[in-house]
Amino acid sequence: MGGSCHLVVVAAPKVCQLCYEEGHYASGCQYLGVHCTHAWCCGFMRVVLGHMEEGTLQSKYLKCSREGCSAVT
Ligand SMILES: [Zn+2]
Ligand SMILES: [Zn+2]
């Protein structure tokens, strides 16, 4: 008796599905429901990840999801 077998429970990492940042889920994302920057557009902004060369920071920007609108922040 006296075994010291402990199960190590590793919680699944909290990763946002919208902006891919850790620490929160999409439901609590700061990018959730962000309206397009154009006043005439009723679209919503979506997070787009730009893949860059290895060793460089990944670029992230918001782009309007509405077809025909090119709003980017
Ligand atoms: Zn997020
Ligand atoms: Zn737009």
Q: How many angstroms is it from 3 CA to the middle of ligand 1? A: 42
24 CA to centre of ligand 1 in angstroms: 6
Q: Does the pLDDT at position 40 exceed 80?
A: yes
DSSP for 39-72, written as a single string? TT---BEEEEEEP--TTSPPEEEEEE-STT---B
How is residue 53 written in tokens?
Answer: 């060369």
Q: For residue range 42-68, what is the model confidence (pLDDT) as tens digits?
A: 999 999 988 767 777 778 899 999 999
Collapsed DSSP state (helix, strand, coil) of residue 45:
strand
CA of 27 to the centre of ligand 2 (A): 22
Which residue shows structure tokens 């940042």? 21
Give the pLDDT of residue 7: 79
CA of 15 from ligand 1 middle (Å) equals 8
pTM for the full model?
Answer: 0.67
- Domain spans, the chain: 9-40
Q: Indicate if the pLDDT at residue 18 is higher than 70.
A: yes
Mean pLDDT, residues 3-30: 86
Residue 17 CA: which ligand is closest? Answer: 1
The candidate with the shortest Cα–Cα distance to 51, out of 25, 29, 20, 73, is 20
